[in-house]
Amino acid sequence: MSKRLTIIGAGPAGSMLSILLARQGHTVTIYESRPDMRITDISAGRSINLALATRGIEALKAIGVMEEVEPSLIPMYGRMIHDEDGQTSLQTYGSRPHEYISSVSRTALNSVLLDAAEATGRVTIHFDMRCRGVDFDQNLLTFTRGEETVEVPFVMVFGTDGSASAVRESVLEANGGQLTLEPLVHGYKELTLPAGPHGEFLIERAALHIWPHKDFMLIALPDPDGSFTVTIYLPVEGPGNTFEQLVTDEQVTDFFAQHFADFAALAPDLTAQFAANPLGLLATVRTTGWAFQDRAVLLGDASHGVVPFHGQGMNAAFESCIELDRFLKEHPDDWATAFAAFEQSRKPDTDAIADMAVDNYVEMSTSVVDERYVLKRALALEMEKRWPETFVPRYGMVMFSTVPYAVAQSRARAQGKILDQLTAGIATVDEVCWETAAALVADLEPLPS
């Protein structure tokens, strides 16, 4: 039966979800706090571009928009590591040609989804409407639009209003659920490495660049106009290298000259950018109680926000939309059961990617230049070539497969022990004992296809 549904937030999760719900025959109204990004030049939000990987691509294919997204993608085949002397080395992401991630503009991707939502003929989007809360007794949503307060009746509401979700507050109050916010000591600032005089890329286009410095790091993703969006991750407060200590132009100039000289040389207006661009804070969002009866459910960053170091927040949000759609189809007449089953099935996976995203900071900022890590990574890729059904490095399981995140996490632990054992006392992959490797791999269960 067709239902009248309300979605709060037209970000990646809300816009994708609206398309899936419209396809089920429902009528959907979305309320979004910001102006329409397709006609107003607003900041894309928390990051200008994002890494899109297999989980996100599969979801975009499922709703039939991949062809529209494809032209905006810039493939990144590996991590380009910039060492302290300005030397670079590429660590490819996978062992097979299709194993790359893509840089995509947040605005371009979200705009494709908004267009596709409206094209269903069943989705209406109201912009500049900030939800302030949900009254489940009166079935009313409260919004502010400029100075005005507006109340709108609703039947069923989907909270896709991001990590500071207003819907979440009302849902958790109604169902007694819990929010856990795990803030990170690191904050971030985005900077631009401009294109060259003829619009050319000044550093390698087809890679995600990393300047690893253990306690802080710089990363860069390519943009279609030849520039790179560069993000500095640095502790927010305290002595030493922190945002708090980078106040004057001189301090900023010295910091970048000392640690990121090759980048600084290519970004002439660095101090102006650093002063002008906002400092973003990062936290993991975990929630119990994603739904209230059959009347509200949370999805995306609103219920499971992760830190950005695995490039999976949006990919996970897309995958959650597909999962929720599946449960709604399984229980078409009992959405309370569908919502509960969705949370029960999905939460172990979103908790797993939250943990792996935190772990990946260490991998990106520190391990990539560690000899033992480089050896184990080379071995893991070689083992994947030999036993592709059984041994897949964690990065590959997370980024290039749809193996449930919780399976990827526990499998990676088991594989990590094998890598430790096989690399003990050796310096190169040529020295690995392949009979032992084969025996250890034989003990692993096959991975879900």
| Residue 191 touches ligand FAD, criterion: CB under 6 A | no
Quote the least distance from Cβ 87 to ligand FAD, whole Å: 26
Tokens representing 68 are 């529209």
Q: Which string of x and - marks every residue 73-112 that binds ligand FAD (by CB under 6 A)?
A: ----------------------------------------
Minimum CB distance to ligand FAD smaller for 298 or for 341: 298
| Region of 30-38, 286-294, 338-346, 389-397 interacting with ligand FAD (CB under 6 A) | 30-38
* Residue tagged 């989907």 (tokens): 158
Q: How many residues bind ligand FAD (CB under 6 A)?
A: 34
| Residue 311 touches ligand FAD, criterion: CB under 6 A | yes
Considering only residues 240 to 299 of the shown chain, the ones binding ligand FAD according to CB under 6 A are: 280
| Region of 29-37, 178-186, 338-346, 350-358 interacting with ligand FAD (CB under 6 A) | 29-37
| Residue 159 touches ligand FAD, criterion: CB under 6 A | no
| Region of 12-20, 355-363, 384-392, 424-432 interacting with ligand FAD (CB under 6 A) | 12-20
| Region of 155-163, 172-180, 254-262, 421-429 interacting with ligand FAD (CB under 6 A) | 155-163
| Residue 33 touches ligand FAD, criterion: CB under 6 A | yes
**For the chain, first and last CA: distance in Å?**
34
| Residue 12 touches ligand FAD, criterion: CB under 6 A | yes
Cα–Cα distance measured from residue 3 to residue 183, given in angstroms and rounded to the nearest whole number? 38
Quote the least distance from Cβ 426 to ligand FAD, whole Å: 35
Quote the least distance from Cβ 296 to ligand FAD, whole Å: 14
Alpha helices in 231-312 (DSSP H): 249-259, 261-266, 270-276, 301-304
Cβ–Cβ < 8 Å for 94, 396: yes
What DSSP letter does each residue of 346-385 carry, written as one string? HHHHHHHHHHHHHHHHHHHHTGGG-HHHHHHHHHHHHHHH
The single-letter DSSP state of residue 308 is: G
180 by DSSP, 3-state: which?
Answer: strand
Minimum CB distance to ligand FAD smaller for 51 or for 264: 51
Cα–Cα distance measured from residue 242 to residue 235, given in angstroms and rounded to the nearest whole number? 5
What DSSP letter does each residue of 80-139 carry, written as one string? EEE-TTS-EEEEES-SSTT--EEEEEHHHHHHHHHHHHHHTSSEEEE-S-EEEEEETTTT
Whole-number Cα distances in Å, 180 to 134, 255, 285: 21, 34, 6
Of the residues 315, 367, 409, 423, which one makes contact with ligand FAD according to CB under 6 A: 315
Whole-number Cα distances in Å, 175 to 133, 291, 299, 300, 350: 14, 8, 16, 19, 20
The single-letter DSSP state of residue 310 is: G
| Residue 34 touches ligand FAD, criterion: CB under 6 A | yes
| Residue 20 touches ligand FAD, criterion: CB under 6 A | no
| Residue 189 touches ligand FAD, criterion: CB under 6 A | no
- By beta carbon distance, the residue nearest ligand FAD is 11
| Residue 212 touches ligand FAD, criterion: CB under 6 A | no
Minimum CB distance to ligand FAD smaller for 50 or for 432: 50
Please report, as a single letter, which amino acid is at residue 197.
Answer: P
Question: Which residues neighbour 210 within 8 Å (Cβ) at sequence distance 6 or greater?
Answer: 79, 80, 81, 82, 217, 218, 219, 364, 365, 368
Helix axes 12-23, 106-119, angle to 10 degrees: 20
Minimum CB distance to ligand FAD smaller for 211 or for 391: 211
Binding site for ligand FAD (CB under 6 A): 8-14, 31-34, 46-47, 50-51, 130-131, 160-162, 166, 188, 231, 280, 300-302, 308, 311-315, 317
